[in-house]
Amino acid sequence: MSGTTDFAYFAAGCFWGVEAAFRQVKGVKATVVGYQGGVTMNPTYQDVCTGRTQHAEVVQVEFDPTVVTYEDLLNVFWQSHDPTTLNRQGPDIGTQYRSAIFYRNDEQKAIAEKSKAEQGTRGIFRRSVVTEITPALDFYPAEDYHQQYLEKRGLATCHI
């Protein structure tokens, strides 16, 4: 891989399964699960689970844009969850499980907004896409035991 690196941030429910999906993508150099989009500094998993911090469970994706594009990552994002359910993915309910794209710059914002609009017109989803598109502010890595959680346990997914 070349020395080029960029970052993307996605929230699509439980971060364990989302991380596993992105780790399979050629051109993804690393992933880190964590918390973003909230009001509390340095939240813990227990803090986020209360819903009071307003953070989402997020995957930080470090990628080589000469190998995989931001658009490609968005396609993985759309395919890895149901972006039409507000604050819920499968059995997981709460604002920490919301669908969100946290953009780093105006280019990512424009690409994300275009991609979201296309999802609404492609007829894939029966309901409206509720995914938030907001600036990537502070990202707080989750505790070590959450990193590559499924991989460490020989699992492919956390959903039934």
Cite the active site residues. 14
The token duo for 159 is 């959903």
Strand partners, 102: 9, 134
What is the spatial order of strands in the sheet that 56-63 belongs to?
A: 132-135, 99-103, 6-12, 56-63, 28-36, 139-141
CA angle 115, 20, 87 (to 5 degrees): 55
